[in-house]
Structure 1
Amino acid sequence: MIKEIIASLDDLDKVVTYLDSILPPHAIVFLRGDLAAGKTTLTQAIAKAKGIEGEVTSPTFSLQQCYGMEGGSMLYHYDLYRLEHEEFMRLGLFEEFEKEGWHMVEWGSDALKSFLEGVGYNVATIEIEPNENSRTYRIDA
């Protein structure tokens, strides 16, 4: 089932609250949308809601950022722009998905998503589409 939420930047808590209600403590979430659609902004809102202090930035050059959440869980944020599935596997990043927490994946390929689903992971997808003063979040979880 796909849930659609339209929210402005000030209303991102609606999206985060919905995600909290449907996602388990260990989840892989593919964030889809054009450049500047709001993928990192949504991850920042999730981090803030989870009690993560400090700056949450796109891991464009590091591929992955890790943040501790209240209660000991972790938030992982990946930026896989221009990183092919085979290179992702060669770098050993697949093993990171075994770690407890939410894994937010920007620019993840369809091949990676299919692979993860094929080995038993339940992968959620959030399509983000900018509107004039808001964004449409299509959540398939």
Structure 2
Amino acid sequence: MFADMRTAMPMAAALILYFYFRPGVPEYLLLPFFAVWIFCYYFDLRITISNLQLLEHERNLVFPILYRKMGKKAVPVQFLVETATIVIIAIIFEHAINVVSISIVSFVFGISHLEAYFSNKFLVKKIGKKYL
């Protein structure tokens, strides 16, 4: 639980600071922000699925439940749930659909997935299984 807070609090703080100060984000950063989310999501997903014992340590509460019920069919469902969550968070702060805000939220989610990937990689090394 404490590790979850160490991850979630800085991410939430980053989003709150962004939406409070609303710094300008150049358009050329939008695609890289989305790309960070997609690539980090992929690496986190790949290491988790390659080492199913990591589901016991998964910080995302939805994915283990979906995966146990649906198997690999849960992957696109989880992706849609996460995409909807990203859009909803951006709408809550902006009160409108704004591509810049959605890209910022997706970037923060990507950083969270990157942290999860390295945490999973550490756990896998510790227990001696395969990893990416």
**TM-score normalised by L of structure 1:** 0.25
Greater RCO (CA < 8 Å, at least 6 residues apart): 2
Please identify which structure carries the higher helix content: 2
**TM-score normalised by L of structure 2:** 0.26
Look at both structures and tell me which one has the larger radius of gyration over its CA atoms. 2
